[in-house]
């Protein structure tokens, strides 16, 4: 019979804290309707796909953002290109790039 190795208490504590942190980082989302696609409240490249009242968190492809106007049509809901803005060096204004 194989001998079991015991994990040091410090490693166990770190693993438990990591799992707890990940669980808290998840946003709780209640589907406003039993089925449909809904915007993420904080990230424009994420959305929720609700089916039978159960929400699944979805992620758009790199560089694309969720477009709520595409919900309910036969098009990809992530077809808008993400526009990033940065602070202009000289005048302190926002610029698109």
The pLDDT score that the predictor gives to residue 26 is 59
Coil vs helix vs strand at 19: helix
Higher pLDDT, 2 or 10: 10
The pLDDT score that the predictor gives to residue 16 is 54
pTM for this prediction: 0.57
Q: How far apart are CA 25 and CA 47, in angstroms?
A: 16
Domain ranges of the chain: 27-68+79-97
- Using CA of residue 73, residue 76, residue 80, residue 84, what is the dihedral sign? positive
Distances (CA, A) of 16 to 19, 22, 23, 28, 94: 5, 10, 11, 21, 42
Q: What's the mean per-residue pLDDT of the chain?
A: 74
Coil vs helix vs strand at 94: strand
């Amino acid at each position: 019979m194989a001998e079991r190795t015991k994990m040091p208490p410090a490693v166990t504590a770190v693993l438990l804290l990591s799992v707890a942190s990940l669980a808290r980082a998840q946003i709780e989302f209640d589907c406003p309707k039993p089925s449909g696609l809904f915007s993420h409240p904080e990230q424009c490249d994420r959305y929720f796909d609700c089916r039978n009242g159960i929400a699944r968190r979805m992620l758009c492809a790199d560089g694309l953002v969720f477009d709520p106007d595409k919900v309910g049509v036969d098009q990809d809901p992530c077809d808008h290109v993400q526009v990033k803005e940065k602070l202009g060096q000289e005048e302190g204004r926002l610029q698109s790039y």
